[in-house]
Amino acid sequence: MSLVLYNTATREKEPFIPLKEGRVAIYVCGPTVYDESHIGHARCYIVFDILIRYLKYKGFDVQYVRNFTDLDDKIIKRAQEENIPFLELAQRNIEMFHQDMDALGLLRPDVEPRATEHIELMVDDIQSLVEKGYAYQVGTDVYYEVASYPAYGNLSKRDLEDMQAGARIEVDPNKKNPLDFVLWKECKPGEPSWPSPWGPGRPGWHLECSTMSAHYLGPEFDIHGGGYDLVFPHHENEIAQAAPLNRKFARYWMHNGFVQVNHRKMSKSLKNFFTIREVLDDFHPEVLRLFVLSKHYRSPLDFFDDILREEGKGLERAYRTLKEAKDLVGPVEETVHGQEASAILNSFIKAMDDDINTARALGHIYEGVRELNRLLDDGRTGSYDKTRIRAWVSAIREMGQVLGILVRDPDQYLAEQTSKSMIGSGLSTGEIEEKIKARSEARAGKDWAEADRIRDELREKGVILEDAGGQTRWRFEI
């Protein structure tokens, strides 16, 4: 079976056939950089990172464009509050965004165009839309006339008349129709502005993606992605802007589902809003990644601390198995073939080919880890089958690379995980060791109550003690 993707435009899973053989051009709507990135961003960009990794794994030459909206009402307002130029604010947030995405192990796009660097191209597009009769000018503003484009509503499966009936009728004497949207708008005093045939102003948000995607990927490209909340009006408007300019635009539309926190929509007012940094303070980035991949990308994703903790435990167990294998057979960098391991790899590919079913694909990785564990168990009581062990490690690594998990050296992961837990427990290594020493002294003096008290105190802080061979070792519980 070859790759099948769900296309929002047809509401069906379709075989993926790229426009040019062996190449894939993809555009994903990027963030509006007015604030720190939150877990909604993490989900969206991890989902498309996996798609891109998988396309590359299948041998496609991928061209990935993701924009930065660095011009927007919220950016301007925030910059005015901080009394700094709006581009300084945008730049600061772009840098933070890059740090967050790098921490999550996301591949950087090939191009990250910024809206403010493409204003002239947008002005050209508006001019063409006005000339062709799809847009009209009112004073310094220019609006797109949705009634001029009969296919408006096709992507979101909405009917123009229903939408009009359902629209809250805002009193906007400038618009011919309440659904018409702004292409160019006049700026208030003190706001950034650019020259145009209609007077100084700035472009509307929807325009930047249709202009920049065509500029970097051409009038027709393979995949356009973004969060489900962008289907209407953003993506609908992008299509309406592109079509009259003879741009066939995207062939496959892919949208990821919402992130909810404790079954409720994430919002600052509900105080259930988490930034990526807040989550990474408590959890390893691979744990957040694993959590995102545990659900199909189109399903809603419910964010619970407990689930992340469970995912973290599973990941740590997998890394411990890999560490045991590494200690036994050394690092496995090359591809090692083994019949059973190849069968699981094929099942993994099948799951990914089926509209990037990461939840199922993860199941196959864990299946591989269980098999590896079984081989290690067998070895402990008999003899180790090192060839098969190497084949399983190789297959787990290969699958892990596609999903961006289990990609670290196991010793490195377990050390990073320990330092993360250390922040959470509030104890340094020295303090833990001191307490272990005090406990050993209590035990030597047969003060069992004190020894138990110290053990319980450490356990409360997530430190587990293991006594073996007269020695006490410790590790963090995650």
**Contact footprint for Zn ion (CB under 5 A):** 29, 209
Residue 213 vs 417, nearer CB to Zn ion: 213
CB neighbour list of residue 418: distance below 8 Å, 6 or more residues apart? 475, 476
What's the min distance (Å) between Cβ of 346 and Zn ion?
36
What's the min distance (Å) between Cβ of 234 and Zn ion?
6
Residue 163 vs 209, nearer CB to Zn ion: 209
What's the min distance (Å) between Cβ of 89 and Zn ion?
20
User: CA 225 to CA 223: how far, in whole Å?
Assistant: 6
User: CA 194 to CA 116: how far, in whole Å?
Assistant: 10
Residue 9 vs 332, nearer CB to Zn ion: 9
Residue 210 vs 417, nearer CB to Zn ion: 210
What's the min distance (Å) between Cβ of 209 and Zn ion?
3
Residue 148 vs 241, nearer CB to Zn ion: 241
Residue 225 vs 404, nearer CB to Zn ion: 225
What's the min distance (Å) between Cβ of 29 and Zn ion?
3
Query: What is the three-state SS of the chain?
Result: CCCEEEECCCCEEEECCCCECCEEEEEECCCECCCCCEHHHHHHHHHHHHHHHHHHHCCCEEEEEECEECCCHHHHHHHHHHCCCHHHHHHHHHHHHHHHHHHCCCCCCCECCEHHHHHHHHHHHHHHHHHCCCEEEECCEEEECHHHCCCCCCCCCCCHHHHHHHCCCCCCCCCCCCCCEEEEEECCCCCCCECCCCCCEEECHHHHHHHHHHHHHCCEEEEEEEEHHHHHHHHHHHHHHHHHHCCCEEEEEEEECCEEECCEECCCCCCCCCEHHHHHHHCCHHHHHHHHHCCCCCCCEEECHHHHHHHHHHHHHHHHHHHHHHHHHCCCCCCCCCHHHHHHHHHHHHHHHECCCHHHHHHHHHHHHHHHHHHHHHHHHCCCCHHHHHHHHHHHHHHHHHHCCCCCCHHHHHHHHHHHHHHHHCCCHHHHHHHHHHHHHHHHCCCHHHHHHHHHHHHHCCEEEEEECCEEEEEECC
What's the min distance (Å) between Cβ of 16 and Zn ion?
21
User: CA 428 to CA 18: how far, in whole Å?
Assistant: 53
What's the min distance (Å) between Cβ of 261 and Zn ion?
25
What's the min distance (Å) between Cβ of 37 and Zn ion?
16
What's the min distance (Å) between Cβ of 115 and Zn ion?
10
The phi, psi pair for 473, rounded to 5°, reads -105, 155
What's the min distance (Å) between Cβ of 204 and Zn ion?
12
What's the min distance (Å) between Cβ of 465 and Zn ion?
53
User: CA 300 to CA 260: how far, in whole Å?
Assistant: 7
User: CA 322 to CA 394: how far, in whole Å?
Assistant: 10
Residue pair 261/302 in contact (Cβ under 8 Å)? The answer is yes
What's the min distance (Å) between Cβ of 257 and Zn ion?
18
Report which of 266, 181, 54, 338 is spatially closest to residue 276, judged by C-alpha positions. Answer: 266
Residue 175 vs 255, nearer CB to Zn ion: 255
Residue 65 vs 405, nearer CB to Zn ion: 65
Residue 239 vs 389, nearer CB to Zn ion: 239
Residue 203 vs 410, nearer CB to Zn ion: 203
User: CA 21 to CA 60: how far, in whole Å?
Assistant: 8
Residue 223 vs 345, nearer CB to Zn ion: 223
Residue 134 vs 253, nearer CB to Zn ion: 253
